[in-house]
Structures are given as C-alpha cells and as structure tokens.
A and B are shown apart, each in its own frame.
Chain A
Amino acid sequence: MSFISSATTVLATDIPSDTGGPYVVAAYLVFLVLLAVYVAIMAQRLLKIGKKADELAARLDHVQNAGAGAVQGDTHGAHAHAVGGTVTSDPLAKGGDAGAVTPAQPTAGASS
C-alpha cells in the first residue's frame, strides 16, 4: 500500500497537469486495461481448452479401458474353445458357447 501511495505521489508531482498530464496517463491506462482484458479473455479461453482436453483424455481412457476389457474377454473365450474346456463365468460368451468370439462393444455410448 505504501508503494502505491508513494507511486501516486510521484505521479502527481511529476506529471504536468497544465498540458494534459492526467489525460496522457488515462490514455496509456486505457491501452493497458484493454490489453489486460484481452489477456484475461485469452487465459480464460485457454483454461476452457485445457479443461475440454482433460475431459476428452478421460473419455478416451474410458473408451480404451472398455475396449481392452472386451478384447481380454474375447481372447479368454477363444483360448477356452481351443483347449476344449468349458467356460461358465465368461460374461461375453452367449448361449453357453464358450468359444464364441464376441465383437468388442461399440464405444460411442462411453461418452455419457
């Protein structure tokens, strides 16, 4: 606060008021304020982009995990079929056919 008050005092004493000193300061301040507003808008926009990118990354992770789970299930079922064993706990196997290779589920629904 003391810095601001001393700076104000210096400005008040050094800037000539008879030839538009305060107006000159106002003109430069307007420039700086508009520039600051622009920088703030740009920063806000970048934050929004960053947030969107994070959301997208999380969504992609979800999609990849779901895909990996499906592939793992498929390979498990295929292996059981190859060795002639019966698999009862495979959630992807339909109608008791343990060897049936179920295609990976579509990933579009993962967005919700």
Chain B
Amino acid sequence: MTVRALRPLTILTVILLAVGFGMAFFYAPLDVDQGFRQKIFYLHVPLGIVGLCGFVLGGIHGLINLRTGSPESDLRSYVTIHIAQIFSVMVLITGSIWGRTAWGHWWSWNEPFLVSFLIVFLMYCTYQPLRLSIDDPRRQARAASVFAVVAGVFVPINFAVVRLAAQQLHPRTLNSAAEGDMPGSVLLTFLLCFLAIAVLYATMVRYELLSKSTTFRLRALERRVGGDDLIPRRSSVPQA
C-alpha cells in the first residue's frame, strides 16, 4: 500500500463529503419541527454510527489477533479504535452543539443516549493507557485484543438497550415506526452523508495504517544499518 494507491480513495472522500454536505444544505428540505438546526443530523448521526461500528471493527480485528496472533491484526485493531475515538469526539461536540440549540443545554445527564455514549467513549479512553502499561509487545497485543473484543461486544448491546429505553430528550433517528418515514430527499441526503463519513473513516484508517507500517519499516532498516534506534522505545502503538 502506498500514498499513490490511496489517492483515488482520498479524492472520492472529498467529492462525497462535498456532495453530501452540499445536498444537506441546498437540497434537503427544512424540517417542520426543528427547522435549520436539523442540518446537524446529516453530520452527527453518520459520525455516531460509523464511530460505533469502528469500535466493533476493532473488536473483530482483536478477535482475529487472539486466534492467529498476527501482529498486523493487532495494528488494525489499534488503528480502527483510534480513528473511532476521533469520530466519537466529533459526535460528542456536534451533539452538544445540537443540544444547546434544541434544548438550551449543552448536556443532559438524564438522557440515556448521551450518558451511554459518554461511557463508551470514556471506556475506550483507557485503551491506550492499557497498552502503554504493558512492556512486552506480545502480552500488550493480547491484553489489548481482549479489551477490544469485550468492549466491541458491549457497544452494540449497550446501543440496543438504550434504544429500547423510554425516550426522554434525544430523538430516535431512523425509527420509522415511531416518527414516520423520512421523506425521500432527506433519506437520500442522509444515506449520501453516511456513505461520505464511512468512506472518510476508511480513508483515515488506511492513511494511519500506511503511516504506522512505514514507520516500522524505517525503524527496522535503522536497526539493520546500526543506527541509534537499536532499543525499541516503550509505546502504546503495536510494534508490528
């Protein structure tokens, strides 16, 4: 994998984001209840879904690592979780902004959706410190994979339980039975934005993987030449 190979994916990401956001502002109609503030929905909801799927994906790679012991799957697990964390930060910030304009509060501790997402985010904030606390790379990979699998199973269960809980403030999106079907233009725009965010996630994961694998190759070369970097430094990043 090279930077040149990622160029088409990067261009596709930029185009999809531009078209998706353009449609959100200029094509999708204004919501009757929420008005203009509903436009955040096209950003916040895809970020949330893709972020949570990223955590689950990290768990799947962790499971592969536990079964095969392959360092590459550990690296993939690390990178997918890392990018999902970045997306989670965006979800929390955009969600808070929406809450401020819709409810008049930046945060509501009574809303299970918000608190459960925060719990998931904080849980994954312990992932890197966990890795950093273990020196031996093989033990580090195994412990991180166990964490990724357990947390990856927790994420969808937590999401399903919270969704089944009694609604308080947070709207239940994509819930056609309760809130009626979305108009075609809104659904089309949402799906395009979702695709754009999903492709953005894939692009960021690939760039991160490329960057990490290139760094490892360089370090290996340095060791072969006999440079200064003979002793591997302590790091939370998998030493593939």
User: Contacts of A40 on B, CB cut-off 8 Å?
Assistant: none
Chain B interface category by residue count: 35 or more
In the complex, the answer to whether B227 meets A23 with C-beta atoms within 8 Å is no
Count contacts on A: residues with CB < 8 A to the other chain.
30
In the complex, the answer to whether A38 meets B43 with C-beta atoms within 8 Å is no
In the complex, the answer to whether A27 meets B221 with C-beta atoms within 8 Å is no
In the complex, the answer to whether B215 meets A27 with C-beta atoms within 8 Å is no
Taking CB atoms and an 8 Å cut-off, the chain A residues in 58-112 that contact chain B are 59-60, 63, 107-108, 110-111
User: Contacts of A21 on B, CB cut-off 8 Å?
Assistant: 36-37
In the complex, the answer to whether A111 meets B227 with C-beta atoms within 8 Å is yes
In the complex, the answer to whether B225 meets A56 with C-beta atoms within 8 Å is yes
Q: Binding site of B, secondary structure by majority: helix, strand, loop or mixed?
A: helix
B214 at the binding interface (Cβ < 8 Å): yes
In the complex, the answer to whether B98 meets A27 with C-beta atoms within 8 Å is yes
B contacts, CB < 8 Å to A: 3, 21, 34-37, 39-40, 43-44, 47, 86, 89-90, 93-94, 97-98, 100-102, 200, 204, 207-208, 211, 214-215, 218, 221-222, 225-228
A-B contact pairs, 28 of them (CB 8 A): A16-B36, A19-B36, A20-B35, A20-B37, A23-B37, A23-B97, A23-B101, A24-B37, A24-B101, A26-B97, A27-B93, A28-B43, A30-B90, A30-B93, A31-B43, A31-B47, A34-B93, A38-B86, A42-B211, A49-B215, A52-B222, A53-B218, A56-B218, A56-B222, A56-B227, A59-B225, A107-B226, A111-B226
